[in-house]
Structure formats: structure tokens, C-alpha cells
Structure 1
């Protein structure tokens, strides 16, 4: 059995440079006046294409209303977690616990990057309203279902929509899974789910496209690079494996829980 660690405790300078320069390039393109025009032109078309059918197509409206509810984020999180810790899919059964902790470290780094980058965005005056607050002809899901907005946190607007933090989590998950995927089907399923779960905010108008493909992507790439292409993921996941070993010994005694690869992994 191949028990080599997933993460190497060394600096991978080539991939790290790429994961650092790409976010800088994305930000520079976004700040470039012509780049901003291109983004706005595309985003306006994207928003109206996705949002306009909400007015007359009830099925379209029901689907994206469900996807825009805060509790649905929990469902999305469980789906992503299930694929991450599914043994012998992307990761071998003996590797899923290490993969889980490696992703957890990457996610924590993403939160730190998100907090710092958001402060920079606010201080620089780059923040903007969501398209549902900009366009007068925008279709608001909350107008159709006002009770859902109050009780289930239906999200269809934001006065601070940049960067897309929801998208950054989906993108960092997709990038992390793709880093270790070896089959085309794995890549296709991973990215199809990431795009699908980003769509509710775009359809409802809570985010511009650029909030995701610029803001969300640059944060995700930066987090992945500085986690997986530095010693951080290797050393942090190894430490977490040691510290949590007694907990997993206890979990292995539970009838149903012990069947999970993340529990059975050595």
C-alpha cells in the first residue's frame, strides 16, 4: 500500500509563484479601466440572462430561491465534505483523513486572506453594490417570497458584494480536489458542482460575476498556493493527525461512524 503523505514539507517555488502571480494579474486586470469595462459588460449580460427568467418562469424561480436560502449552504457543505472524505474516489481510503485536515488548513488560510483582502478593498474604495441594487429592472426573489427573506435569510442583494466569499470557498474546494484528481470525470464533477453552487447568488443578483471570477478566484488560488505548495499543509495536517488520533479511536467504536473512511484511515 502507498502510504506516502499527500503534502510535501517543502517549498514548491514554481507552483507557488504561479499561485501568487495569478491573483496579482487578476487584480491588475480588474483595476485596469479597460478590464473593468470588459468585466462590467460581461457581467451585465450574465446578470440579465440569469435573472430575467425569474419573472415568468416559476420552476426557474423555485430552484434558485431554494439555492439562495442560507440553510441550503449547509446542504452544499455536506455534499462537498462527502466528496472530500469519500475513500478511493479522489483520495485513497488511507489518505482521506490527511486530505481532510489539509483542506481544513487551506480553508482557515482562506478565511485569513478574506479578512485582510476585504479590509484592503474597503480602504481602497473598491467595494460596490450587487447588481440587484444597481439595475432598476432586476427581479428580486424577496419580492416574491418576503417571508423567506425574514425567516430563512433569502439572499438576493448586498451592499458589499466584492469579493465573493461564498464563491471563494467553492473555488478553493474545487482547486484542492483538482490538485489531486487523476481522472477526467473527477475534474468534470468537481467543477460542475462548484459552478452550479455559485449560480444561486448570480441568478438572484447578490453578486456580480466579477465578485466570483476575480475576487473569489484570486483568494482561492492564493490560499491554495500558500497552503499546499509550502510546508504549511504538510506540517499542520501531520500535527492534526497526531493530536486527533485519540478522538478517532473513540469514533471508531461507534457502529455507523466507524464505516467512514476518514475514521478508518490510519
Structure 2
């Protein structure tokens, strides 16, 4: 590894630790809580003012809508997969498996730092502060309530995908993947199912640490190489067969 890589690794870990520790140890979450409150009540005001926005938020928080995020990620992945030759397709599947390893590691961190932090709607309603629930306003089974919302695992998975796209496919693909991450992380914050810091601090700090060790070190490349070597590609048909006869 180069000095530049080591410096980037240290910065990512320091950033992740700083975000998490500042949220955890500052009294009443310090400067993060006013930001959380401001984001939540801004969306609450929009919900109160617009029926169309209320239904939009409810729709984007239905379970089937999550499948659209997956399809968007799949479309980005397949764009590169279709252009690859047999060797490239094997590498892409191995890269996808490496990404799953990162997801598992991030999920372990998620489980270790899982706090019983209620979502904004639940928190404020239990505090006697009126809060609008889009599921009640629309009658749709939209996600707008959670007993434990920190960290935001939905946003974390999207960040992992975007980071892998940046590492292996460059800035244009990463920009598309990051757009997917932002667009599909917002609905949970708009409905009050997640605080802003559930994604920014919770998912962001885990992503900074796990992904830096995966992508700024040779770890992911070695995992990919291992999968390329160990997976019995011939059993999966001609799509992975070498182009040579």
C-alpha cells in the first residue's frame, strides 16, 4: 500500500470514529440533535401542508418501493456486466460476492452498536408532541415508526454499493449509485421512520470504517481473487465459459 492509501485509510477511520463518538458522548447528542429535529419537523410541515406530498411519502415508504432501489442497483450492475467478456463476468460476480462480505461485516458492526433509539415519530408522540404519521393519514401500510432506528441499515447497504461502484467502476458509475443511495434513503427520513443521524452518523460511520478496510487495502481484491479461483464457474453455464473453444 502507498502512503496516500494509508493516509486515506486513517482519515476514513478517524472520520467514522469522530462522527459516532460525537453523537454518542456529547450531552443530548450535541449539535446532531438540533439537526435531527430540524429535518424531522421540516418534513412534518410539508406533510401537513400538502396532501400530494403526504401520499408521495407514504408511497415511497411501502415495502414494494424498496424493490425499486434494488432494481436500480441491479441496472447499474448489469450495465457493466453485459459489456464484459466471460472473464469479466466471472470477475463481476466475484466482486458482487466481495460486496456481500462487506455487507456481512457492516451488519455485524450494526448489531454491535444497535441502540434502542425510537424513530422520530415514536419519540415525539411518546413525549406528548404531536407528530403526523403518513400511514394514519393515508391508510396505507407505510413505514413511519420504529422502536430501534439507529443505525439505518437500509442506507448502509446503499452506501456500500455506491462505494464499490466508485472503487471498481469510476466516478460516473459512482455518481449514479450515490444518487440511488440518496434518493432511497430520504423516504425513511421524510416519514419519520429514521432520524437523519441514523443514516449520516450510524450508517455513515460504519461505512467509513468497514469500507475503508475493504476498499483502501488489498482486502477486497484478494477476496475477489479467492472467489474467482474457488467458484466452479463451468457449472454455471456458457455465460461464464471462456470465449476460446
- Normalising by the smaller structure, the TM-score range is 0.7 to 0.9
Cα distance in 1 for residues equivalent to 2:149 and 2:93? 29
Cα distance in 1 for residues equivalent to 2:118 and 2:74? 31
Alignment of 1:236-255 (within 5 A): 236-242=223-229, 243-250=231-238, 252=239
Cα distance in 2 for residues equivalent to 1:88 and 1:105? 16
Q: Answer whether contact 2:69 2:180 (CA < 8 A) is retained.
A: no
Structure 2 match to 1:177:
165
After TM superposition, the structure 1 stretch with the greater mean CA deviation from structure 2, 217-226 or 15-24, is 15-24
Cα 1:96/1:156, change in 2 over 3 Å: farther
Cα distance in 2 for residues equivalent to 1:39 and 1:222? 20
Task: Kindly indicate whether residue 96 of structure 2 is the aligned counterpart of residue 107 of structure 1.
Answer: no
Cα 1:232/1:158, change in 2 over 3 Å: same
Structure 2 match to 1:3:
none
Q: Indicate the RMSD between aligned Cα atoms, in angstroms.
A: 2.8
Cα distance in 1 for residues equivalent to 2:242 and 2:68? 25
Deviation digits for residues 153-172 of structure 1 (CA, Å, limit 9, x no counterpart)? x2111110000000101111
Which portions of structure 1, spanning 4 or more consecutive aligned residues, are displaced by more than 6 angstroms?
A: none
Residue 93 of structure 1, CA deviation: 2.8
Cα distance in 1 for residues equivalent to 2:236 and 2:164? 24
Structure 1 match to 2:42:
49
Cα distance in 1 for residues equivalent to 2:242 and 2:208? 28
Q: Answer whether contact 2:167 2:215 (CA < 8 A) is retained.
A: no
Structure 2 match to 1:139:
132
After TM superposition, the structure 1 stretch with the greater mean CA deviation from structure 2, 196-205 or 23-32, is 23-32
Cα distance in 2 for residues equivalent to 1:67 and 1:229? 34
Deviation digits for residues 79-121 of structure 1 (CA, Å, limit 9, x no counterpart)? 11220231289xx735465244324323333333323443344
After TM superposition, the structure 1 stretch with the greater mean CA deviation from structure 2, 54-63 or 67-76, is 54-63
Residue 219 of structure 1, CA deviation: 1.4
Residue 132 of structure 1, CA deviation: 0.7
Gaps of 5+ in 2: none
Gaps of 5+ in 1: 1-7, 253-262
Cα 1:37/1:14, change in 2 over 3 Å: closer
Which of residues 166, 169, 176 is equivalent to 2:154?
A: 166
Structure 2 match to 1:5:
none
Structure 1 match to 2:220:
233
Deviation digits for residues 107-141 of structure 1 (CA, Å, limit 9, x no counterpart)? 3333333234433444xxxx311101122322111
**TM-score, normalization: structure 2?**
0.81
Task: Kindly indicate whether residue 189 of structure 2 is the aligned counterpart of residue 196 of structure 1.
Answer: no
Aligned length: 233
Structure 2 match to 1:66:
59
After TM superposition, the structure 1 stretch with the greater mean CA deviation from structure 2, 212-221 or 223-232, is 223-232
After TM superposition, the structure 1 stretch with the greater mean CA deviation from structure 2, 97-106 or 201-210, is 97-106
